[in-house]
Amino acid sequence: MAATTDQIETTAHSRQDPLDGTAIRADFPVLNGPTGDRPRLVFLDSAASSQKPQVVIDALTDYYERYNANIHRGVYQISELATERFEEARRKVARFLNARSPRECIFVRNATEALNLVAQSWGRANIAAGDLIVFSTMEHHSNIVPWQILAEEKGASLGHIRIDAAGRLDQEHFDELLAREPKLVAVTHVSNSLGTVNPLKEMIARAHAAGAIVVIDGAQSAPHLAIDVQDLDCDFLAISGHKMCGPMGAGVLYGKRSLLDAMPPFLGGGSMIRKVELERSTWADVPAKFEAGTPAVGDAIALGVAIDYLTDLGMDRIWEHEREIVAYALNRLREIPNVTIFGPQEAGERSGVVSFAVGEVHPHDVAAILDEGNVAVRAGHHCTQPLMRALDVVATTRASFYLYNDREDVDRLIEGIYRVNGVFGDTTSRTGTGGPCREKWDARTFEDDAP
């Protein structure tokens, strides 16, 4: 039987710096489960969705076993307990992001929903014909498509920050776009395809000076580094719980209170109202105004436990651990002559994401052969098709490292790439269409990397 919520505490890791990825793996059941005749699972796809520690799994199970009830409605004991745990999770999120108030943290399903909320609520109320919306070439589709839909509806125009040859945002081009006085700037904190860490604080200050509201996609940064929304001074920030050891179904939109108060609702229905009459309704205060209907209560509570887990380890320690792993991975990958690494070449400029090509071998074939050795990587365009075109590739293979990875995982990845070369030969071009695994993979979709 799962432990009760009252009994659940985050694992007390009394480890010295740096973090020990091998020891941390013990907290994650899927990384320690049986694999039959296959070697231990090496999970290198955390940029898509991280694995979950036992305390998070227990918290989710505990909610459904012990106090499953709707919130903010019942006056009976388990409903009141569910309400308190749900709002406690909101307070944890606020502390994690250093928001001024928990009311600035809206529970949503994921970062995609958070970004759409901003586009449909703030955007529809504030963007007009002729206004400029700026986003970057390296954005995930979830930080591109909502703005395209909004621009088409309103008659606004779009500007796209270019990337340079090293996979960084072209800051001079950004200034050129700011000179056109955009109404909104949407940019990722960390690229999900290149791992590039963008200089947000400086970019936000310059965007504000140009009169723009700034929306940050934090799906790839919140799991890995400490975020202080007050220090960044961002107007909105979207995060996904499932990428930061939490369950699928719980994400957060942070927004400055003054902006949230002025915005119209995103969805209409129960919970988000103050008063409903047959002819008109009035809205509840934030955050309730943006949380119509029954939320994913258990998922939100478990996200709070995931935040406890990450906080217990220390975000600075997690970041430094990943820096060490990615530096080792970059060096090992450079040992293989026909491997091309995309994005910044120095570990200090990127997160734990490394996208690469193996000669002319199609990324799906690379991933298939790595899987034979129980090494899980992502292959495809990673929901960044404009970026792939800028890189002049159709797709890449991506290994993404997290707190439970270590050097042995990197070595397993390198061994797998050598097996790829053994199957296909030591090719040097990146323009091929793949080989014997193509038929297996062509019928499937690999491109969803949804935040």
The closest of 164, 163, 154 to 132, measured between CA atoms, is 154
Q: What is the pLDDT of residue 445?
A: 40
- Average pLDDT over the chain reads 92
The closest of 142, 97, 106 to 265, measured between CA atoms, is 106
Identify any residues that bridge with 160 across adjacent strands, giving them in sequence order: 135
Q: 293 — alpha (psi -120 to 50), left (phi > 0) or beta?
A: left
Per residue in 297-343, pLDDT tens? 999 999 999 999 999 999 999 999 999 999 999 999 999 999 999 99
Q: Which domains does the chain have, with CATH numbers?
A: 77-311 (3.40.640.10), 315-442 (3.90.1150.10)
Which pair of structure tokens corresponds to residue 336? 């293989």
Whole-structure pTM over 0.85, yes or no?
A: yes
Interatomic CA distance for residues 338 and 2, integer angstroms: 49
Per residue in 171-199, pLDDT tens? 999 999 999 999 999 999 999 999 999 99
Q: What is the pLDDT of residue 437?
A: 37
Question: What H or E segment, with its residue span, contains residue 420?
Answer: helix 407-424
- pLDDT level of residue 51 (50, 70, 90 thresholds): very high
Which pair of structure tokens corresponds to residue 156? 């606004």
Active site residues: 383
List C-alpha distances in Å: 442 to 148, 370, 378: 29, 17, 15
Location of structure tokens 């406690």 = 88
